[in-house]
Amino acid sequence: MADDLRKDSLKNRVEGSAKELGGKMRHAAGDLTGDRSEQIRGKARELEGKAQRKVGQAQDKISDAQRRADRSSDDLEPDV
């Protein structure tokens, strides 16, 4: 499960960063052309990407905590 979570987190961080960058570029293009709707669409895409990236970061933290917990429980098991 931790491996799946780690893959999902990487996917969310990469896709989120790409959306965030694309949104910033679209917003900037709207600024240059004076197109308010493009500015708004760009900002919305940027925020969507930021949220997705944050989800990926949270998944990383959960995966790390899960891995630490697994190691700790291994230490508690008696050697046979």
Q: Per-residue pLDDT tens for 13-51?
A: 999 999 999 999 999 999 999 999 999 999 999 999 999
**Residue among 42, 59, 47 at smallest CA distance from 16:** 47
With cut-offs at 50, 70 and 90, classify the pLDDT of residue 79: low
pLDDT of residue 1: 64
Helix (H, G, I), strand (E, B) or coil at 34: coil
Distance CA 39, CA 36 (A): 5
- Supply 37's token pair: 């709707």
pLDDT of residue 80: 56
- Supply 51's token pair: 């949220």
pLDDT of residue 16: 98
pLDDT of residue 77: 65
- The residues, ordered by sequence, that sit 6+ positions from 70 with a Cβ below 8 Å of its Cβ are 2
Q: What is the pTM of this model?
A: 0.81
